[in-house]
Amino acid sequence: MTYFILRRTLGFIGTLFAVSIVVFATMNILPGDPAMSILGLEATEDALAALREDLGLNAPVHIRYVEWITGAFVGDFGTSHSFRVPVSELIGERLGMTISLAVAGMLLTLVLALSLGIFAASKHRQIGDWGVMFLSQLGIAVPAFWLSILLVLLFAVKLRWLPPGGFAGWDDPVAAMRSLILPTVALALVQSSVLARVTRSSALEVMRQDFTRTARASGLSQRRILWRHVLPNALVPIVTIVGMQFAALVTGTIVIENVFYLPGLGRLIFQSISNRDLPTVQALVMLFAAIVVTANFIVDLLYVVIDPRLKARQ
């Protein structure tokens, strides 16, 4: 186990290091001048030069990379070129929003997908199964942004139950929760469609196995069989997909945050790329990469918890 964690930690650092080089190189190869993005087309050459000096853009690329990576090691991601405040401050302001959205989206996805998937499996080749399959197919086909707009039109414009967008922070928790309902639903509906199908097929496979038949034969209730015996044994493929989906969910917030004009990391990265805000983009991509790698790491640990046989193998 110790060896497993050590190997994983090294992999984690290695991945982030590779990401750092790719991001840094890409941002520096991309055509476009951060100084001109800020000062506009009519700026004089000496004003541009003064700004470039100020932003530290005149140093050679490798020097800038080393400075940046050594800063990043101690948590200093530098100052945003376009916002002129520390990148950590920018991320700190917005992390709460995106994490709240991603976690709420994940929870709702799990609740919806597991119950619908198990339900469909239990009603195999019946109307309930077909219903769930049809809806999940629809959910996979519909783009998240379009679904978001439909939700807004119905619940914000027509019924006026919920705000159409925006997020004023957690100072007013009720308002904050209300603001998060529609984006969470929009995120979760699409994600849970995929997961419900995986849950269904994985559950069906388990249901065909001998121990399920034995459980049924020994007179256990259908509910107990499904939730106590089928689901735990069907979890390995489900957890794999959940791990991948969490990554998709975090990046999916980029679209959702734009449609619901939420002040989260997704909108920040969008804005920073068009502004050629090198330090902010780098820090954000690193952060997203870290989240994805961490999610995979947790999934790996979960395998061992779900299926103790894997522990013995390691």
Partner 1 sequence: MTLNLNPLHVSLLALTIGATAASAADLSVGLQQEPTTLDPTSEATASIDGMLMQNVYETLTIIQQDGSVGPNLATGWEVSDDGLNYTFTLAEGVTFHDGTTFDADDVIFSFNRAMAEDSKNPAKKIFAGITSITAPDPLTVEVTLKESEAFFLFNMGKGDAAIVAPETADNNATTPVGTGPFKFDNWNRGDRLTLVKNPDHREADIVSLDSVTFRFVSDAAAATAAMMAEEIDAYPAFPAPELLEQFEADPRFKVTQGNTQGEVILAINNAKPPFDNIEVRRAISHAINRDEIIDGAMYGKATPIGSFYPPQGEAYVDLTGTYANDTAKATEMFEAAGVAGSTMTLRVPPFPYAMRSAEIVQAQLAEAGIDAKVENVEWGFWIDEIYRKKNYDMTIIAHVEPNDMGNFARGADYYYGYENPDFTALWEKIRTEADPEVRNALLKEGQEFLTNEAVHGFLYQLPLHGIFRNEVEGYWPSVPVSYMPLKFVSKG
Measured CA to CA in angstroms, residue 104 lies from 98, 166, 247, 249, 285 at distances of 10, 17, 14, 10, 22
Assess contact for 265 and 98: CB atoms under 8 A: yes
Q: How many helices and strands in the chain, by DSSP H and E?
A: 14, 0
Buried b / exposed e over 138-160, threshold 16 CB at 10 Å, is ebeeeebeebbbebbeebbeeee
Assess contact for 192 and 109: CB atoms under 8 A: yes
Closest separation in Å from C-beta 288 to partner 1 = 17
User: Burial level of 43, CB count in 10 A (0-12/13-18/19+)?
Assistant: middle
Closest CA to 233 of 118, 130, 136: 118
**Interacting residue with partner 1 among 180, 268, 283, 293 (CB under 8 A):** 268
**Interacting residue with partner 1 among 274, 298, 305, 310 (CB under 8 A):** 274
Element (H, E) at 121: helix 87-122
Select the span of 5-13, 232-240, 263-271, 305-313 touching partner 1 (CB under 8 A).
Answer: 263-271
- Contact between 233 and partner 1 by CB under 8 A: the answer reads no
**Quick one: 51 or 72, whose CB is closer to partner 1?**
51
Closest separation in Å from C-beta 164 to partner 1 = 4
Closest CA to 252 of 196, 310, 202, 184: 184
- Contact between 80 and partner 1 by CB under 8 A: the answer reads yes
**Interacting residue with partner 1 among 12, 15, 50, 294 (CB under 8 A):** 50
Select the span of 62-70, 108-116, 221-229, 273-281 touching partner 1 (CB under 8 A).
Answer: 273-281
Binding mask 114-133 for partner 1 (x = CB under 8 A): --------------------
**Quick one: 7 or 53, whose CB is closer to partner 1?**
53
Select the span of 71-79, 101-109, 223-231, 265-273 touching partner 1 (CB under 8 A).
Answer: 265-273
Of residues 139 through 178, those in contact with partner 1 by CB under 8 A are 149, 152-153, 156-157, 160, 163-169
**Quick one: 145 or 227, whose CB is closer to partner 1?**
145
**Quick one: 83 or 297, whose CB is closer to partner 1?**
83
**Token pair for residue 164?**
């159409």
Assess contact for 230 and 150: CB atoms under 8 A: no
**Interacting residue with partner 1 among 47, 59, 66, 138 (CB under 8 A):** 47
Q: Go through the chain and tell me how many residues it has.
A: 314
Q: How far apart are CA 87 and CA 22, in angstroms?
A: 19
Q: Which residues partner with 86 through β-bridges? A: 79
Q: How far apart are CA 79 and CA 3, in angstroms?
A: 38
Rounded to 5 degrees, what are φ and ψ at 199?
Answer: -60, -45
- Contact between 278 and partner 1 by CB under 8 A: the answer reads no
**Quick one: 175 or 301, whose CB is closer to partner 1?**
175
Closest separation in Å from C-beta 122 to partner 1 = 39
Closest separation in Å from C-beta 32 to partner 1 = 2
- Which chain residues interact with partner 1 by CB under 8 A? 30-33, 36-44, 46-47, 50-51, 53-54, 80, 82-85, 90, 93-94, 149, 152-153, 156-157, 160, 163-169, 258-264, 267-268, 271, 274-277
